[in-house]
């Protein structure tokens, strides 16, 4: 059997020895220290009956012990899941009920996330009110090595979806599949800042960085000021951000005064952000921007590197080239496969694609088929092999042979002098019909002329599009804990604004859905 990612990780930590691999709140953790911590937690979990076939779930902050516990569970052959933190307690309860973990690990700072109705065996790390302390149990264990007990086909990791439309889903991967996801080129000398929740892509980035020989600086959350300060103080070389966070960081006041010269790469995930914003980010930080497209279910699909766009800025309209080892096909609405430059639904197949949703067979059947993941996004592949992503299928329409998605609307709006940032997405308003919810952020204390915004969209796309918009100005567009646009919150604000002002879109909602 090929070594699992946990075998490779432990070997890499041993090779680092006394050299640092983690920084957390001004504390440095060496490879030896993290490795011993993993063994101690593995023995503590084993004493609680955790082994192959078990599932350990964690309400975890970005903390070294959170990493060690998941590695320890996987070392024993058990599966692990970093739980997302939806604001609504009933969604957290429904998620826990669905995944039914063998053991729930909670930290002092995440104790408030545990629903009152939860009936799962629970242990704590840090402060607790009389509950068993996993960290205390680990502290009395030997720190000598333990052989990995995982089998290649055992369930290893469940990764959360964003949960923007309800209870988050959990995509599952075996040890073999997860090892393929986090395996990559060496990254010696990399210092990666992680400030996104571990429930999402951050856990993959941590694993890939440590396996590749790099080191991690952990921050509890994204904040523009804290991020810039960490880049300067910790000499960060690599940074990952969700697209709204990138555009927030580049426009932050301190961005022009902080020393960010150590940065070699800023990677942002998405696929359909307007190119005008990427150009502004490159003007601010230099040609170090790497744009990636992917999903928790599909893994990393495509990548646009500086070497691609530095001599051809028009490529900033794309999501880059499809990665080696990844197959992408575009399926027309009628079900046949599209040709070059024909739009359709993006489907992905690779060794990193998830094997389904955990305990959700119906949802899995709709999302996965014969190794393929149906992303739900609309796009095309051009003659040079670059992937273009227009957005979610539900947000895209076709009018007179012209396919229009949110990215085109956002591009027009972000080109206006008083608009710093814009977001557009669809809202179902009837059977087969939609209206676009649009929110714009002003520059500083300026006011956005919403009439001018509508006229600009009208000039670009015509009255059918501009008339189907409900547009408001917001000081800050709300984000999810993942750093993505909180569509539910934006839609609620738009709905409230139009209800209170008795406004309606000028024309009937669009009914020309591409999918």
What DSSP assignment string belongs to 101-139?
-SEEEEEGGGGGGS-TT--S-EEEES--SSS-BHHHHHH
The one-digit pLDDT tens for each residue of the chain (515 residues) are 689 999 999 999 999 999 999 999 999 999 999 999 999 999 999 999 999 999 999 999 999 999 999 999 999 999 999 999 998 999 999 999 999 999 999 999 999 999 988 899 999 999 887 889 999 999 999 999 999 999 999 999 999 988 666 799 999 999 999 999 999 999 999 999 999 999 999 999 999 999 999 999 999 999 999 999 999 999 999 999 999 999 999 999 989 899 999 999 999 987 678 999 999 999 999 999 999 999 999 999 999 999 999 999 999 999 999 999 999 999 998 899 999 999 999 999 999 999 999 999 999 999 999 999 999 999 999 999 999 999 999 899 888 888 999 999 999 999 999 999 999 998 866 655 678 999 999 998 899 999 999 999 999 999 999 999 999 999 999 999 999 999 999 999 999 998 865 544 444 344 333 33
Question: What does the CA dihedral 503, 509, 510, 513 come to, rounded to 10 degrees?
Answer: 110
Alpha-carbon distance 43 to 417, whole Å?
A: 60
Q: Is 77 left (phi over 0), alpha (psi -120 to 50) or beta?
A: left
Spatial separation of the C-alpha atoms in residues 26 and 230, rounded to whole Å? 11
Could you tell me the end-to-end alpha-carbon distance of the chain, in angstroms, rounded to an integer?
43
Distance CA 353, CA 359 (A): 17
Name which of 6, 357, 300, 351 is nearest 172 in CA terms. 357
Per-residue pLDDT at 270: 74
Q: What is the pLDDT of residue 432?
A: 58
Cβ contacts of 183 within 8 Å, gap of 6 or more: 5, 8, 208, 211
Helix (H) or strand (E) segment spanning residue 289: strand 289-295
Domains assigned to the chain: 1-184 (3.40.50.980), 396-501 (3.30.300.30)
- Residue 366, judged by CB atoms within 10 A of its CB (0-12, 13-18, 19+), counts as exposed
């Amino acid at each position: 059997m090929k070594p699992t990612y946990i075998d490779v990780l432990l070997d890499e930590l041993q090779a680092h020895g006394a050299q640092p691999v983690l920084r957390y709140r001004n504390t440095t953790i060496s490879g030896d220290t993290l490795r011993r911590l993993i063994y101690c937690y593995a023995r503590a979990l084993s004493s609680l009956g955790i082994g192959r076939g078990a599932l350990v779930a964690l309400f975890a902050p970005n903390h070294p012990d959170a990493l060690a516990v998941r590695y320890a569970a996987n070392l024993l052959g058990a599966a692990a899941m970093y739980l997302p933190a939806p604001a609504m307690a009933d969604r957290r309860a429904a998620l826990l009920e669905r995944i039914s973990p063998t053991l729930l690990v909670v930290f002092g700072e995440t104790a408030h996330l545990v629903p009152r109705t939860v009936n799962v065996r629970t242990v704590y790390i840090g402060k607790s009110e009389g509950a068993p302390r996993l960290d205390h149990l680990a502290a009395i264990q030997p720190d000598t090595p333990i052989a990995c007990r995982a089998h290649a086909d055992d369930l290893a990791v469940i990764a959360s979806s964003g949960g923007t439309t309800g209870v988050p889903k959990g995509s599952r991967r075996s040890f073999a599949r997860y090892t393929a996801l986090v395996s990559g080129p060496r990254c010696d000398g990399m210092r990666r800042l992680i400030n996104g929740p571990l429930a999402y892509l951050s856990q993959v980035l941590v694993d890939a960085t440590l396996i590749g020989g790099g080191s991690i600086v952990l921050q509890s959350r994204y904040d523009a000021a804290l991020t810039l300060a960490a880049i300067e103080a910790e000499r960060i070389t690599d940074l990952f951000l969700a697209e709204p966070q990138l555009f927030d960081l580049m426009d932050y006041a301190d961005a022009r005064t902080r020393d960010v010269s150590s940065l070699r790469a800023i990677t942002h995930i998405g696929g359909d952000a307007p190119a005008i914003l990427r150009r502004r980010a490159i003007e601010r930080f230099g040609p170090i921007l790497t744009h990636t497209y992917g999903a928790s279910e599909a893994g990393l699909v495509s990548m646009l590197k500086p070497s691609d766009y530095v001599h051809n800025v028009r490529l900033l309209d794309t999501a880059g080239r499809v990665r080696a080892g990844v197959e992408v096909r575009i399926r027309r609405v009628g079900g046949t496969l599209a040709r070059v430059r024909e739009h359709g639904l993006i489907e992905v197949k690779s060794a990193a694609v998830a094997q389904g949703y955990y305990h959700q067979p119906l949802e899995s059947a709709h999302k996965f088929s014969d190794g393929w993941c149906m992303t739900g996004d609309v796009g095309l592949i051009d003659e040079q092999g670059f992937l273009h992503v227009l957005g979610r299928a539900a947000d895209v329409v076709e009018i007179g042979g012209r396919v229009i998605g949110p990215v085109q609307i956002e591009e027009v709006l972000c080109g206006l002098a008083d608009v710093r940032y814009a977001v557009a997405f669809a809202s179902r308003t009837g059977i087969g019909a939609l209206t676009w919810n649009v929110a714009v952020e002003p520059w500083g204390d300026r006011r956005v002329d919403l009439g001018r915004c509508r006229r600009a969209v009208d000039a670009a796309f015509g009255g059918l599009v501009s008339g189907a918009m409900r547009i408001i100005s917001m000081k800050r567009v709300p984000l999810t804990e993942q750093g993505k646009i909180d569509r539910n919150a934006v839609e609620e604000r738009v709905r409230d604004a139009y209800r209170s002002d008795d406004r309606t879109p000028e024309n009937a909602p669009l009914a020309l859905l591409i999918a």
